[in-house]
Amino acid sequence: MSAALRIAVSEEKGNVPVTILHVTGDVDSKTYMDLESKASEVISAGASNILLDLSGVNYMGSAGLRALHGIVNKLKSSGGGKMKLLNPSDAVSRVMFTLGFDKFFDIHKNLDEAVKAF
């Protein structure tokens, strides 16, 4: 049974305003739509720089990785924007590495650095 997804939103000001989605739980075929809809919500509200804090995610299945790509698509179709990832767990990092996602997403270990990188 997958752990339910909780997503808290916060804002940081680096070189540009950055919207941070703090995700907690498992991102799998049952929950990935929650992540997509929360991201759509903040993008519709004007967010164009999104930092996905994955430190609370224990498991990310292929449906979750699909959602990451979906968010990038949504940013593109909403006039452009960037998404970066923060602190994926070892298990999530391993999945991203095996599937080659690490080459296409900026992954940061430190919040300040990640915010400044936008």
Partner 1 sequence: MLSIEETCRFLRKSSFFACSSEETVMSLAHYSETIQIPAGEKLFETGEIGTAMYFVVDGCVRIHKDDVVITHLGREEVFGEVAALSHEVRTASVTAEMDTILLKLEQDAIYKTLTAHPGAARCIIQALCRRESEIIGEKVERLIKAKVMERELDIGQKIQRNFLPEVIPEIEGWHMSGLLQPARKVAGDFYDFFIVPKPHCVGIVIGDVCDKGLGAALFMTLFRSLIRSISVYRNVVETHSEHDDVINTLRHAIALTNKYIASTHASSSMFSSVFFGLLVPETGQLCYINAGHEAPMIIGPSGIRQLLTPTGPVIGLFEEAEHEVGMAEILPGELLFGYTDGATDAQNELGEQFTEERLQSIVGNGARNDKAFLNRMFSAVEGYIGSADQFDDITMICVHRETGTHR
Q: How many residues bind partner 1 (CB under 8 A)?
A: 18
Sheet holding 17-27, edge to edge: 6-13, 17-27, 49-60, 82-86, 106-108
Nearer to partner 1, 101 or 118 (CB): 101
How far apart, in whole angstroms, are the C-alpha atoms of residue 88 and residue 108?
A: 9
**E strand or H helix that includes residue 114:** helix 111-116
Does 52 contact partner 1 by CB under 8 A?
no
Q: Which is nearer to partner 1, 22 or 116 (CB)?
A: 22
Among 62, 109, 110, 113, binds partner 1 (CB under 8 A): 62
- Residues lying near partner 1 in the complex (CB under 8 A) are found at 1, 29-30, 61-63, 65-67, 69-70, 73, 98-101, 103-104
